[in-house]
């Protein structure tokens, strides 16, 4: 059985505007893909530990020494909109 | 008569050192080939022609002064997910159409310091998500072996450029097969090294637990040379392995006598094209003739690898791609508030496959579903890792087809995501387990399209996969030329 998903809810979580036609297509496609992907449920029992990485490494630190970093100008060069030395964005609070 | 741009990097390096040619001549040869074919192939998104000429002249000066590593003066193309300072890097996406990175990725920084010549940035599936290069926002790439067929993906432009002589070699990235599968479909050598062997600093992230940088070359020796030039730990990438670099070209000629080769039985089931099956079988016979022992091997959980991959990779992608929010770089579509601006920007900037994977990943990570999907997929990854460990107790290397089919027609699988995903069914397990694998051409199918054979070894077994691939390459003597290139000489 294809998996039923709440497309509007997932699109909201993903901050992704979708057209009605995109939603319809995704509802059908994701339902089928998830039905197929759900096979993972039957493969591994509770005794199998998860692997986040194939070759795990932990606490990788480099020496705590200052090195040159990007200049403010370089960092801001790609900004869609800026004001002085800052990235400019529309109001953070929702506009009712 | 082959042009300079059709030679291997190893041959060109010895000619350069002997003074028989110059980097400038080699570079002009590549540029001329790009002029001649790229209108039809569409491998390049951006060409850096003037920069290439400058770098070639500088390389010639270094070579004349006797101060040049083996990669100096050899023209290369880079997949457009690899950041290049002051050169637009788009990831094949509208959302980064005008993004200009302020720094170089480490692999290119190392090659640049060694005198390499950058020809340009190659087309790819958007954010490296795809198996046909049809997901690029800037149009498909055409396979030099059949212009109405796909070059594979996601590194389709890099594979096609090397196959067509537009570049001597190229870099791509491999998250689920994105170097090996296009190498297979384009008849070139594609190497995906051990996870963490090549720094990913400056590689624009797709799925961080799987992403690797890989090489496209026209010989196994070239893959060894290029890998040696870019591998090794990097303080800028915390996942890079703490390891000094080997010279991977050493030991290439040691042959396969006495090696135990396992043939992955799960990779010969339904869905494998007869021409692929017979080509791999005849290559296995040659390996046996050369003194390797050939026996059936099993990766019992391989059937679940594709499912696990299509949960893990989209989950990580949905998180990595959250950074494209219209604030610091890339496209911005205005909105009344920041949330609306972000949603509109992402809706307008991402293509269908990227949206599909962001939605899939967001769902798989969302409250109530996390354990059943992402959690289970990570357990399956453990089973795949154990499968390889078990198989490598009995075998030195594993062999399979790289992909179930040769190049398919542009448009043929565009509306069927699952059929498209099946293209990577034999390459994905190596990404999940982090092991190295290489694809080499094993012959042509009945339609004259290249077949790829994949050799896999345990973690950090690069020398071994390259040695086996090199022995097989010499024995098979694959020297077919894409019709597009053959047509130029006529």
Chain B residues with CB under 8 Å of A87 CB are 327-328
B458 and B435 in contact (C-beta within 8 Å)? yes
Residue B383 and residue A43: Cβ atoms within 8 Å? yes
Residue B102 and residue A81: Cβ atoms within 8 Å? no
Residue A77 lies in a domain: no
Burial class (CB in 10 A: 0-12, 13-18, 19+), A96: exposed
User: Which homologous superfamily is B4-262+393-489 in?
Assistant: Amidase signature (AS) domain (3.90.1300.10)
How many Å apart are CA B462 and CA B67, to the nearest integer?
28
Q: What is the pLDDT of residue B67?
A: 84
Looking at the partner chain, which of B343, B359, B379 has a beta carbon nearest the beta carbon of A50? Answer: B379
Chain A residues with CB under 8 Å of B372 CB are 38, 41
Residue A73 lies in a domain: no
Residue A85 lies in a domain: no
B132 is catalytic: no
Residue A80 lies in a domain: no
Residue A7 and residue B359: Cβ atoms within 8 Å? yes
H/E stretch holding A86 reads strand A86-87
Q: What is the pLDDT of residue B490?
A: 59
**C-alpha angle B9/B13/B17, rounded to 5°?**
170
Q: What is the pLDDT of residue B283?
A: 98
Q: Does B18 touch chain A if contact means CB atoms closer than 8 Å?
A: no
Residue A72 lies in a domain: no
Q: What is the pLDDT of residue B245?
A: 76
Residue A10 and residue B332: Cβ atoms within 8 Å? no
Residue A54 lies in a domain: no
How many Å apart are CA B201 and CA B74, to the nearest integer?
23
B355 is catalytic: no
Residues of chain B with pLDDT under 70: 1, 490
Say how many domains are in chain A. Answer: 1
Residues of chain A with pLDDT under 50: none
CATH code for the domain of A21: 1.10.20
Model-level ipTM above the cut of 0.90? yes
Residue B372 and residue A79: Cβ atoms within 8 Å? no
**Structural domain range at position A24:** 7-42
H/E stretch holding A8 reads helix A7-13
Identify the active-site residue in B22, B70, B136, B178: B178
Task: Show the tokens assigned to B249.
Answer: 């070209």
Q: What is the pLDDT of residue B417?
A: 82
Q: What is the pLDDT of residue B415?
A: 82
Looking at the partner chain, which of B327, B334, B417 has a beta carbon nearest the beta carbon of A87? Answer: B327
A70 and B236 in contact (C-beta within 8 Å)? no
Looking at the partner chain, which of A5, A51, A57 has a beta carbon nearest the beta carbon of B381? Answer: A51
Chain A residues with CB under 8 Å of B376 CB are 40-41, 43-44
Q: What is the pLDDT of residue A95?
A: 60
B288 is catalytic: no
- The string of pLDDT tens digits covering residues B377-387 is 999 999 999 99
Nearest CA in chain B to A74: B102
- The string of pLDDT tens digits covering residues B170-216 is 999 999 999 999 999 999 999 999 999 999 999 999 999 999 999 99
Residue A31 lies in a domain: yes
Looking at the partner chain, which of A18, A40, A95 has a beta carbon nearest the beta carbon of B376? Answer: A40
- The residue ranges of every structural domain in chain B are 4-262+393-489, 302-379
B27 and B52 in contact (C-beta within 8 Å)? yes
Q: Give B 217-236 residues with CB within 8 A of chain A.
A: 235
Q: What is the pLDDT of residue A94?
A: 63
Chain B residues with CB under 8 Å of A92 CB are 337-338
Identify the active-site residue in B70, B79, B315, B400: B79
Residue A2 lies in a domain: no
Nearest CA in chain A to B430: A54
To the nearest whole Å, the CA of B424 is away from the closest chain A CA by: 15
3-state secondary structure chain B: CCCHHHCCHHHHHHHHHCCCCCHHHHHHHHHHHHHHHHHHHCCEEEECHHHHHHHHHHHHHHHHCCCCCCCCCCEEEEECCECECCECCCCCCHHHCCCCCCCCCHHHHHHHHCCCEEEEEECCCHHHCCCCCCCCCCCCCCECCECCECCCCCCHHHHHHHHCCCCCEEEEEECCCCCHHHHHHHCCEEEECCCCCECCCCECCCCCCCCEEEEEECCHHHHHHHHHHHECCCCCCCCCCCCCCCCCCCCHHHCCCCCEEEEEHHHHCCCCCHHHHHHHHHHHHHHHHCCCEEEEECCCCHHHHHHHHHHHHHHHHHHHHHHCCCCCCCCCCCCCCHHHHHHHHHHHHCCHHHHHHHHHHHHHHCCCCCHHHHHHHHHHHHHHHHHHHHHHHHCCEEEEECCCCCCCECCCCCCCHHHHHHHHCCCHHHHHHCCCEEEEEEEECCCCCEEEEEEECCCCCHHHHHHHHHHHHHHHCCCCCCHHHHHHHC
- The string of pLDDT tens digits covering residues B252-292 is 999 999 999 999 999 998 889 999 999 999 999 999 999 99
Identify the active-site residue in B154, B318, B400, B423: B154
Looking at the partner chain, which of B329, B347, B382 has a beta carbon nearest the beta carbon of A48? Answer: B382
């Amino acid at each position: 059985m294809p998996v039923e998903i709440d497309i509007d809810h997932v699109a909201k979580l993903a901050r992704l505007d979708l057209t009605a036609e995109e939603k319809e297509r995704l509802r059908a496609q994701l339902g089928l893909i998830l039905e197929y992907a759900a096979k993972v449920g039957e493969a591994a029992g509770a005794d199998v530990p998860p692997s986040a990485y194939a070759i795990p490494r932990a606490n990788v630190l480099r020496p705590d020494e200052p090195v040159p970093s990007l200049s403010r100008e370089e960092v801001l060069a790609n900004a869609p909109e800026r004001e002085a030395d800052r990235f400019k964005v529309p109001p953070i609070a929702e506009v009712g | 008569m082959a042009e300079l741009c059709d030679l291997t990097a190893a041959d060109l390096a010895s000619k350069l050192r002997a003074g028989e040619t110059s980097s400038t001549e080699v570079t002009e040869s590549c540029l001329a080939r790009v002029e001649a074919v790229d209108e039809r192939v569409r491998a390049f998104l951006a060409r850096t022609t003037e920069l290439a000429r400058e770098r070639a002249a500088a390389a010639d000066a270094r070579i004349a002064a006797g101060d040049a590593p083996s990669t100096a003066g050899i023209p290369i193309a880079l997949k457009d997910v690899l950041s290049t300072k002051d050169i637009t890097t788009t990831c094949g996406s509208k959302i980064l159409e005008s993004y200009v990175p302020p720094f170089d990725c480490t692999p290119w920084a190392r090659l640049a310091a060694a005198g390499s010549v950058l020809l340009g940035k190659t087309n790819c599936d958007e954010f490296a998500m795809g198996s046909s290069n049809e997901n690029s926002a800037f149009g498909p790439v055409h396979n030099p072996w059949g212009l109405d067929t796909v070059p594979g993906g996601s590194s389709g432009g890099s594979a096609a450029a090397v196959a067509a002589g537009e570049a001597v070699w190229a870099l791509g990235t491999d998250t689920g097969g994105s170097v090996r599968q296009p190498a297979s479909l384009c008849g070139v050598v594609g190497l995906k090294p051990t996870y963490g062997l090549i720094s990913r600093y400056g590689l624009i992230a797709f799925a961080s637990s799987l992403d690797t940088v890989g090489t496209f070359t026209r010989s196994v020796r070239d893959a060894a040379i290029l890998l040696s030039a870019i591998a090794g730990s990097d303080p800028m990438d915390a996942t890079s392995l703490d390891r000094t670099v080997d010279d991977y070209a050493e030991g290439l000629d040691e042959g396969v006598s006495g090696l135990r080769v396992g043939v992955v039985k799960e990779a010969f089931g339904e869905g494998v094209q007869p021409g692929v099956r017979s080509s791999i079988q005849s290559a296995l016979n040659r390996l046996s003739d050369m003194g390797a022992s050939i026996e059936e091997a099993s990766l019992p959980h391989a059937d679940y690898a594709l499912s696990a991959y299509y949960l893990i990779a989209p989950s990580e992608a949905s998180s990595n791609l959250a950074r494209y929010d219209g604030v610091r770089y890339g496209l911005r579509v205005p909105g009344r508030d920041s949330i609306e601006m972000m949603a509109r920007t992402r809706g307008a900037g991402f293509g269908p496959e990227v949206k599909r994977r962001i939605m899939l990943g967001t769902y798989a990570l969302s409250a109530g579903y996390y354990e059943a999907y992402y959690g289970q997929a990570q357990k399956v990854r453990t089973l795949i890792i154990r499968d390889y460990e078990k198989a490598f107790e009995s075998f030195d290397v594993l062999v399979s087809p790289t992909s179930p089919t040769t190049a398919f027609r542009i448009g043929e699988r565009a509306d069927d995501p699952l059929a498209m995903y099946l293209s990577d069914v034999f390459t994905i397990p190596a990404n999940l387990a982090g092991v190295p694998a290489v694809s080499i051409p094993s012959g042509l199918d009945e339609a004259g399209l290249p077949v790829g054979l994949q050799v896999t070894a345990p973690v950090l077994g690069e020398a071994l996969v390259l040695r086996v691939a090199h022995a097989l390459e010499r024995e098979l003597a694959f020297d077919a030329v894409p019709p597009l290139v053959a047509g130029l000489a006529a």
